[in-house]
Amino acid sequence: MVVESDGLLDESCLGAAPLPQDAVRVWLDTPRVDDMPDLVYLANNRKVAVNLLQQPFPFTTKDAKAIIERAEYPDDGAATFAIRMKATGRLIGLARYKSLDAGYSVHVGFWVGEPFWGNGFATEAVHALVDHAFTQSQTEELTAACRVTNAASRRVLVKSGFQYRDQSMIHSVGAGGTVPIERYSLDKSVWASLKAWGRMQ
């Protein structure tokens, strides 16, 4: 299921769109100041940072505050969400997308804290994020990337309908240098077909 809307919002309003609909065990919500202890605890982990492009390590309270402020006042075409456990409301990670190419393409990013790995929470969150991006904007394509060594994120992307595109090199702040990545994309037409197929099951 996806968020219902009277109409598609302009791409520059992604951050002002209704929140993504709940998944089975998680929901996506706006990060808050009271999330800072959990955010710092989970993000201040080298195993998380080396798989992200812009997240520093060590990760400090100042870094957490900047993320929360950015979520509250998003850039045009961007939105940042806390991934929360439905049972407790606890923040377990972040999901984000940002408009590229004048809104024709949107880049998706996500991470889940190490204590919550291996439970399918990231897949649920990315499904909700994908539905939200395609439902609440005019974008025709989502893109994503993961490190070549990050098999878990690769599985999340494939389970979410993304298709492998190519490999390239990119600078990672957390890894402290240039790393090889795999790039993926998901066309809106493919997403619509997958959603229709899912309803027939």
**Number of domains the chain contains:** 1
What is the per-residue pLDDT for 115?
97
Instruction: State which residues of the chain have pLDDT below 70.
Output: 1-19, 76, 101-103, 198-201
- For residue 117, give its domain range: 11-193
**20, part of any domain:** yes
pLDDT, one tens digit per residue, over 17-32 is: 566 777 889 999 999 9
Token representation of residue 177: 């240098």
**198, part of any domain:** no
**86, part of any domain:** yes
**1, part of any domain:** no
**5, part of any domain:** no
**158, part of any domain:** yes
Task: Specify the pTM.
Answer: 0.86
The CATH number of residue 91's host domain is: 3.40.630.30
What is the per-residue pLDDT for 20?
74
Q: What is the mean pLDDT of the chain?
A: 87
What is the per-residue pLDDT for 198?
67
Cβ atoms 51, 147 nearer than 8 A: yes
pLDDT, one tens digit per residue, over 3-17 is: 222 223 333 445 445
Task: Write the DSSP assignment of 151-197 as a string of letters.
Answer: HHHHHHHHHTT-EEEEEEEEEETTTTEEEEEEEEEEEHHHHHHHHHH
Long-range contacts of 63-69 (CB under 8 A, 24+ apart): 64/35, 64/36, 64/39, 64/40, 65/36, 67/31, 67/39, 67/94, 68/31, 68/32, 68/33, 68/35, 68/36, 68/39
